[in-house]
Each structure stands twice: as C-alpha cells, then as structure tokens.
Amino acid sequence: MACRITELILDCADPVRMAAFWCEVLGYVEIGKDGEDIEIGPPGVGFGGPQPTLILSRSDDPKPGKLPLHLDVNPTDRDQDAELERLLAAGARPADVGQTGEESWHVLADPEGNVFCLLRKRVEP
C-alpha cells in the first residue's frame, strides 16, 4: 500500500484573497474553514477525492517567491496562450526564476508572490 497526496498547505497573509485566486485558477470551491484557514477543493468531491485539496493557512511569516516545492498547472479547456491570459486576468503575474525564455512553460506568481508554472499540455478536467 502507498500514500497519496490529499492536501497541500500554503502559508499566506490573506487566506480569503488567496482562496479566491486559487479557486479561480483551479475551478475549486471553498469546502471548509478552521479559524482563519480556508480549505478549497474540487466541487462535489472535497477532501479525499482524486485531486488534493488546498489549504490556505494564515501566517504572519509567509515565504513568497520560489519555494522548495511549487505547483504546476495545465489548461483543461483551452490552449496555453488563452489560459495564460485567463490567469493574468485573475491576478497572476509573470515571475523570473532564471528561465532562459526557451521553456515551454510560463513561470507565474500568485497574488502573494508564490511561484507556480503554467505548462503547455492540455489535460482532462
């Protein structure tokens, strides 16, 4: 038997703002609150489903920038260029982590500066 990832935790200064951003990016919904922490996940599934939930955990010491672990996202219903436009409109911004410009992915930062990548391949929702 093996383990699987069920939750990802992201420390942040403003869980409400970050939950709204990541719900927009991932098509997730709020599924729970614990104090100031907000858990979001796939609609109709929630915790324990095939996709991990994301907990936006209130912290006075979030560490923005290139984290030791970062998220990669793929478009599900449009090409990479259209998805990039959507993510930028939702509040993401381009980030420079030393890429050459020849990569097939885009490096972005969420509203609090956490780096994530938009990959090219379209995947099933």
Could you report the per-residue pLDDT of 11-52, keeping only the tens digit for each?
999 999 999 999 999 999 999 999 999 999 999 998 888 889
- For residue 71, the SS3 value is strand
Report pLDDT for 74: 95
List b or e across 94-119, with b for residues whose CB sees 16 or more CB atoms inside 10 angstroms.
ebeeeeeeeeebbbbbbbbebbbbbb
**pLDDT attached to residue 4:** 84
Q: Please report the DSSP string for 21-65 in residue order.
A: HHHHHHT-EEEEEETTEEEEE-TTT-TTSSSPEEEEEE-SS---B
What per-residue confidence (pLDDT) applies to 46? 80
CA atoms within 13 A on the CB side of 74: 8
pLDDT 10s digits, 46-79: 888 888 999 999 999 877 767 778 899 999 999 9
Contact residues for 72 (Cβ-Cβ < 8 A; gap 6+): 105, 116, 117, 118, 119
pLDDT at 1 over 70: no
